[in-house]
A = this chain, B = another copy of it.
């Protein structure tokens, strides 16, 4: 399971890039079109989060005839699940917080992975757990893909290594490569062949409504990264 400790931001980002790329073209169209529209210049401040700006632009194209469908979705979503937290004493809470810190503090971002098999059901539980993460407007903008087939794993390794080699040699710049040197990382990732399972994590920049309308995923990268943090915790708790 140690593989998943190696889902470092860099690795997550590399995978995000793949889906990001597929979607970019169609999105560019939206943006350029909507930019023309907004000759009013809009009331945007320099310190406003990207998502808020981008999104307002996309909206100006989207939200014309979406409403009818959304209204019905609202009705379906108005049932509430009561929140009934456990009641621990102050000393119990303190002890639990110490135990969890010590457990998580043993996690390492390892690059040498055991080929030892893992029950598939464990992978499912870990992904279910990641799926409990909060997300912008509860859009849950993530896709988790589990790969165990040796050929597919190897094809993924080839894509990742090709991109990473370009990162190290061209995109990162001398200083970044230098900063990584002490971590002894490079673009060769044998562990992608060796690990029994790969979990590929994709951010969904947007979703699609049943009526084929585009569904905006607010703060999709932040949301997916939070889910990754919970996924790392689930892996560490399960196996350490």
A residues touching B (Cβ–Cβ < 8 Å)?
Answer: 1-2, 5, 7-10, 12-14, 16-18, 20-21, 24, 42-49, 51-53, 55-56, 59-60, 62-63, 66-67, 70, 73-74, 77-78, 81, 83, 85-86, 88, 90, 93-94, 96-98, 100-101, 104-110, 118-119, 121-122, 125-126, 128-129, 132-139, 166-167, 170-176, 178-183, 216, 218-219, 221-223, 225-234, 237-240
A205 to chain B, nearest CB (A): 12
Query: Is the beta-carbon distance between A55 and B172 smaller than 8 angstroms?
Result: yes
- List the B side residues contacting A176 at CB < 8 Å: 55-56, 59, 137, 216, 218
Query: Is the beta-carbon distance between B223 and A226 smaller than 8 angstroms?
Result: no
Partner of A53, one of B16, B85, B171: B171
Given the known interface contacts A9-B226, A49-B16, A237-B96, the answer about A59 and B137 at a Cβ–Cβ threshold of 8 Å is no
Complex CA distance for A98 and B237, rounded to whole angstroms: 10
Given the known interface contacts A9-B136, A86-B240, the answer about A17 and B47 at a Cβ–Cβ threshold of 8 Å is yes
Query: Is the beta-carbon distance between A173 and B60 smaller than 8 angstroms?
Result: yes
A210 to chain B, nearest CB (A): 15
Partner of A10, one of B78, B121, B218: B218
- List the B side residues contacting A180 at CB < 8 Å: 137
Q: 15 interchain pairs (CB within 8 A)?
A: A2-B85, A13-B219, A21-B46, A55-B173, A59-B175, A60-B173, A66-B175, A67-B178, A88-B239, A100-B233, A105-B132, A107-B134, A109-B134, A225-B229, A230-B232
Complex CA distance for A40 and B239, rounded to whole angstroms: 49
Q: How many copies does the complex hold?
A: 2
Complex CA distance for A170 and B56, rounded to whole angstroms: 9
Complex CA distance for A44 and B163, rounded to whole angstroms: 12
- List the B side residues contacting A63 at CB < 8 Å: 173-175, 178
- List the B side residues contacting A119 at CB < 8 Å: 90, 93-94
- List the B side residues contacting A166 at CB < 8 Å: 43, 45
- List the B side residues contacting A18 at CB < 8 Å: 47
Complex CA distance for A97 and B129, rounded to whole angstroms: 9
Complex CA distance for A238 and B91, rounded to whole angstroms: 10
Complex CA distance for A74 and B178, rounded to whole angstroms: 9
Known interface pairs A13-B222, A227-B229, A230-B230; 17 further A-B residue pairs with C-beta atoms within 8 A, sorted by A's residue number: A1-B93, A2-B83, A8-B134, A9-B226, A13-B49, A45-B166, A83-B110, A85-B106, A93-B119, A96-B239, A97-B237, A100-B129, A101-B128, A104-B129, A104-B234, A105-B128, A138-B183
